Structure 1
Amino acid sequence: MCGIVAYLGHQEACPLIIKGLKRLEYRGYDSTGISVYNDEQLQIYKKAGKVAELEKTLKGKKIHSTIGIGHTRWATHGEPNDVNAHPHYSSNKKLSIIHNGIIENYSSLKKELEVKGYSFVSDTDTEVLITFIEDIKSHGISLESAVRQALATIEGAYAIVIMDEENPDQLIAARKGSPMVLGIGEGEFFIASDATPIVEYTDEVVYLNDEEIAVINRDEFKIIDIENIELDPYIQKVELELDEIEKGGYEHFMLKEIFEQPNSIADSMRGRLDAKNARLTLGGIREQADALAEANRIIIIACGTSWHSGLVAEYLFEEFCRIPVEVEYASEFRYRNPVINEGDVVIAISQSGETADTLAAIELAKSKGAIILGVVNVVGSSISRASHEGAYLHTGPEIGVASTKAFTGQLSVLTMIVLSVAQRKKTITESKFKELLQELESIPDKIKKVLDSNDKIEYISSLFKDAANFLYLGRGYNFPVALEGALKLKEISYIHAEGYPAAEMKHGPIALIDEEMPVVFIATRDSSYDKIVSNIQEVKARKGMVIAIVTEGDVLIPKMADHVIEVPRCDEALMPLISVIPLQLLSYHIAIMRGCNVDQPRNLAKSVTVE
């Protein structure tokens, strides 16, 4: 959630920061702003709405500054308007701040400051924080010390960057529970929520850890902790190319990322899967391989789309490894006093690697002796650092808020983990192991065939773009796909949709079915095929409109369904990788036809860093 961009160097800060904020638009936001040192004072410009609105505000203004901070805000405290937008001034307007996260004790701090005579313009916790820092600084101490003292007092999560009118050659940044990266260029420094605004200028970065503070001057920087202990910064190379975060000729990032999946899945398997020699190499879980194979129980924690990939993994682990699996919403896990035994393995799944609920669940599980394996897409992210071991997706940056290629990347990596464990436990025959490796290797080519149906899916979408409700039904491995298909439609088209196990339709949802209700069946050839045929007949008997995802060559279901979309044959354990593709395209086209912003759906954020 929210996006931070800051700069200190020799270039004009304002256009650089605006460009960086545009790179972070995928994170989701509702207002934006910038603060610069211009005409020997701090100046703030901010607007509700998109970065384009801020650009209009800045047009024609004479701004010359080589230091600045910028922000895209996703509202938490106070509605999304000009006043509540970031940056915020301190009371004396000598300091300005941008902030991601939530200060949980801001209300009590605000009351204490009001007693001292301070007043506030906005409804935000952020203005309280910068005023608190100003109050500490007013006692004659440096801004660096004031920030340290304030952060030792506040409760909650933050990623902050602060400018000081009295020292326009310095930025101070800090984080706890919200991501922040420092880019190191030649005579210049960049700060951002992730590396996307930075890669155009430098590939050397430092990922700040929790309760670390970066003090950045024009010719040097240092990293300290809240106790003022100086730390050795770990400088890393960013493996991210600029063209990966551009649209590359596609109208939207979401469409680009859907069509990237043959390559992104192949990238997730590269160097790991050798089908010819029947070999899997997962270096990221090597040290915990025995613990994973010997686990009495696996707990998967995730949110949203990642939770759906966890459901598929549950089927896979239980079928091929014979290990009991529980799949938990991370947001509920930590609040219900879960039973966690030492030696339990917790698999944390997150696209961004920064999901606040999942991070909190990880810390709870670790405190009880669980082994944590992270499955994330973003290298250097908080979850990857908090895990004992894990595996990166290597699917490349996902800019569209609604996850597509990260979902199939998660399925690919989780499938490889499952097969590796099954082989280690000898709960899978060598012939089945080889067969599944060959099937997995063939998935990218099969997805290409599904993508060839894009025009047909677009036509079907045009018939149902005005529907008020959708029902998605699947059985077995395809039940989580039904959930994911429904979520995609809700996220980007704002049509109400529900996913159910097909057999559960008779236990309530069947009451909704009439001639106005489109019902999407994931009805590929698998062990539940005959049952799902019966479910389709039940819907047709009630005049429901059926859209069926079927295995190519199926002759039975096309006679019953109103519309069919064929996908290639595949082992049912791997079918979610294929059957989800038409559902992604269906959601995309319906949303576009309804005039929705598919890359930045309303109210949503890519990286959910608040609980």
Structure 2
Amino acid sequence: MGYVGTRHAAPIIVDGLRKLEYRGYDSAGVAIHDGQSIEIVRTLGKLARLGDALEKRPLAGSTGIGHTRWATHGRPSEANAHPHSAGPVAVVHNGIIENHVAVRQELEVDGVKFLSDTDTEIVAHLIHRELSRGKKPLFSAVQAALRHVVGAYAIAVVSREEPDVVVVARHGSPLVVGLGEGEMLCGSDIPALLAHTRSMIFLEDGDVAELRASGVRCETVSGEVVTRKAKHIDWSPVQAERGGYKHFMRKEIHEQPEVVEATLRGRIDLAEGDVYAAEMGVTPEVAQSIRRVYFVACGTSHHAAIAGRYWMEQLAKVPSVVELASEVRYREPLFYPDDLVIAVSQSGETADTLAAVKAAKAGGARILAVANVLDSAIPRMADGALYTHAGPEIGVASTKCFTTQLAALLLLAVYMGRRRSTLPQERAQKVLQALWEIPSHQREVLGDADYVHAIAKKLVHAKDVLFLGRGLGFPIALEGALKLKEISYAHAEGYAAGEMKHGPIALIDEQLPVVAVCPRDAQYEKMHSNLQEVRAREGQVIAIATKGDEAMLELAQHIVWIPKAPDEVMPLLTVLPLQLIAYFVANLKGNDVDQPRNLAKTVTVE
């Protein structure tokens, strides 16, 4: 977070960092220019400690930068906290400098003494070196320094010699500039700036910008003058607040009917059984020319992509594969011009997914981004984008971004099916009608949260939990296990139920809870058989089942009922109880639900 203007910078920066703490929370710090010198305050631990330190040592000044850290290089400590300084310069940085070892050795040969274990400190020393060599002003020194840097970065820099300037730059990590009245701000994400402006510039890779109270100028690292148009953001600051809930995650779970409605709105024509989304850039001719769909994603987005593959093959009849983006860049996969690569990323900035997109683009494939953040890096690189409308998601463990991704991917499959003439109008109408009714059904499921809370109490002391599903229930089982792992720190495994007999069945006894995604769908009979195998071995079954399924009463000790709905839309219902189970277990354990240990919201490093 950075600020230059006429107001006191420190409280503005700290308030902005509170909106960004989901990105990292093992240490924090600020550097404030008081007109004569730069004062730095850094603390180990969460941002609240920095706030306490600044109350004891207030910093006056109208120019400054701040940072809240998720450790990549160097353990969490005050010495490794940002900002880092060298000579007159202070720097904050997101990302990873890949050539930091070589640069560090080069600087050490020149007599530089390092005070931290971080890769970030080399950036401060490189900028200081350029200033010492006469490369001025600060803007030019930053440009010159970054020509020696390889890797991902979003940086903000201040210098003692220029009290009214903040210089920022980005490559592979998000950075937003906020245009205020007589002031300029910058931050890693939109919510940090919303309290001060709705007019924002999204810097692109290779951009370096100089922020002054009077305005902003932008060039590339190589010195080419560029103009980035401001965009109006219609999110309200209230959207980034908890709204009376104990945790952001609980609030975001209950927001899902609303945000799914927002994602569907304006895109569905029920009368025609069709989907309208021209922003995707997939014309009827392009849709017909596609021979393979190739999904790339990480984590929760990967689970959404697995569901997307089912829909794409069932409705659009296009052969589809799903790859973990973190594996794509090293596997040397083959891409072709008639491939449609669908990159699924909540932030639109996920480093591994971005790298996979670059590889696919180099192979000549067409790229379609599914993302929640306007003009983020992956949509900018893509040929088209299908944006979800989840709004700001602050809880590190994703919930509403996941269900809006599911909604968007189902829309995409219908869109492709209609244009490839593989999906009859009548069936498309039924699928879209079911999807349109999903928010109402979601509200019904979420209304049973108290019953799910009672089930969660029985899982608090479980050391292992097995999640089973088939078909579209399989990615939901994976997602349910991931949620429990992320925030409750219990070991959980998501498994295709048909694979249970190939190993996991050895684990089942009276101590092992088994959570089964078992709605009345095309896979129901097979799932029913799998659960009989679990019960025969004294396994404890918690079932997500369709209302009226009396046979399930004989198999499961606990059942969370969901409304009847067509198979295609079931994932948007079955995932809700699993999100609630994870939330309640973590909360009952006293864990920090919104900021689970070792995790960050936007993964902009490999």
Same fold (TM > 0.5):
yes
Q: Distance in 1 between matches of 2:402 and 2:166?
A: 37
Shift of 1:133: 1.4
Question: 2:525 pairs with 526, 530, 541, which one?
Answer: 530
Aligned pairs (5 A) from 1:46-125: 46-90=42-86, 92=87, 94-125=88-119
Q: TM-score, normalization: structure 1?
A: 0.98
Q: Determine if the alignment matches structure 1 residue 211 to structure 2 residue 206.
A: yes
Tell me the amino acid that sits aligned with residue 453 of structure 1: D
Question: 1:6 pairs with 2, 7, 26, which one?
Answer: 2
Which position in structure 1 is the counterpart of 2:127? 133
Deviation string 1:276-297 (CA, Å, 9 cap, x unpaired) is 4533211222444432332111
Aligned pairs (5 A) from 1:331-346: 331-346=326-341
**Contact residue 518 and residue 544 of structure 1 kept, 8 A:** yes
Tell me the amino acid that sits aligned with residue 188 of structure 2: S
Q: Distance in 2 between matches of 1:302 and 1:76?
A: 21
SS at match of 1:80: coil
SS at match of 2:120: helix
Shift of 1:82: 0.5
Which position in structure 1 is the counterpart of 2:534? 539
Shift of 1:229: 1.9
Question: 1:458 pairs with 406, 430, 453, which one?
Answer: 453
Structure 2 unaligned blocks of 5 or more: none
Question: 2:586 pairs with 584, 591, 596, which one?
Answer: 591
Which position in structure 2 is the counterpart of 1:153? 148
SS at match of 1:144: helix
Deviation string 1:150-202 (CA, Å, 9 cap, x unpaired) is 11121111111110001111111000000001101111000000111111111
Please give the root-mean-square deviation of Cα atoms over the aligned residues, in Å: 1.1
**Contact residue 179 and residue 215 of structure 2 kept, 8 A:** no
**Contact residue 34 and residue 61 of structure 2 kept, 8 A:** yes
Which position in structure 2 is the counterpart of 1:471? 466
- Give percent identity, aligned residues only: 45
Q: Determine if the alignment matches structure 1 residue 305 to structure 2 residue 297.
A: no
Q: Determine if the alignment matches structure 1 residue 173 to structure 2 residue 168.
A: yes
Aligned length: 605
SS at match of 1:293: helix
Q: Distance in 2 between matches of 1:293 and 1:393?
A: 24
**In the superposition, relative to structure 1, how do residues 277 and 394 fare at CA in structure 2: closer, same or farther (>3 Å)?**
same
Structure 1 unaligned blocks of 5 or more: none
**Contact residue 473 and residue 501 of structure 1 kept, 8 A:** yes
**Contact residue 468 and residue 497 of structure 2 kept, 8 A:** yes
SS at match of 1:357: helix
Which position in structure 1 is the counterpart of 2:227? 232
**In the superposition, relative to structure 1, how do residues 96 and 251 fare at CA in structure 2: closer, same or farther (>3 Å)?**
same
Q: Determine if the alignment matches structure 1 residue 569 to structure 2 residue 564.
A: yes
Q: TM-score, normalization: structure 2?
A: 0.98
**Contact residue 544 and residue 559 of structure 2 kept, 8 A:** yes
Which position in structure 2 is the counterpart of 1:420? 415
Q: Distance in 2 between matches of 1:181 and 1:9?
A: 17
**Contact residue 5 and residue 212 of structure 2 kept, 8 A:** no
Q: Distance in 1 between matches of 2:23 and 2:263?
A: 23
Shift of 1:430: 2.0
Q: Distance in 2 between matches of 1:395 and 1:105?
A: 37
SS at match of 1:331: helix
Question: 2:254 pairs with 256, 259, 263, which one?
Answer: 259
Which position in structure 2 is the counterpart of 1:284? 279
Greater mean alpha carbon deviation, residues 49-58 or residues 424-433: 424-433
**Contact residue 288 and residue 389 of structure 1 kept, 8 A:** no
**Contact residue 31 and residue 46 of structure 1 kept, 8 A:** yes
Which position in structure 2 is the counterpart of 1:162? 157
Greater mean alpha carbon deviation, residues 10-19 or residues 225-234: 225-234
Question: 1:367 pairs with 359, 362, 374, which one?
Answer: 362
Deviation string 1:314-358 (CA, Å, 9 cap, x unpaired) is 111111111110100000011111011122110000000000001
Which position in structure 2 is the counterpart of 1:183? 178
Which position in structure 2 is the counterpart of 1:43? 39
Question: 1:199 pairs with 172, 194, 199, which one?
Answer: 194
**In the superposition, relative to structure 1, how do residues 558 and 371 fare at CA in structure 2: closer, same or farther (>3 Å)?**
same
Q: Distance in 2 between matches of 1:317 and 1:278?
A: 16
SS at match of 1:228: coil
Shift of 1:56: 1.6
Q: Distance in 2 between matches of 1:172 and 1:447?
A: 46
**Contact residue 6 and residue 192 of structure 1 kept, 8 A:** yes
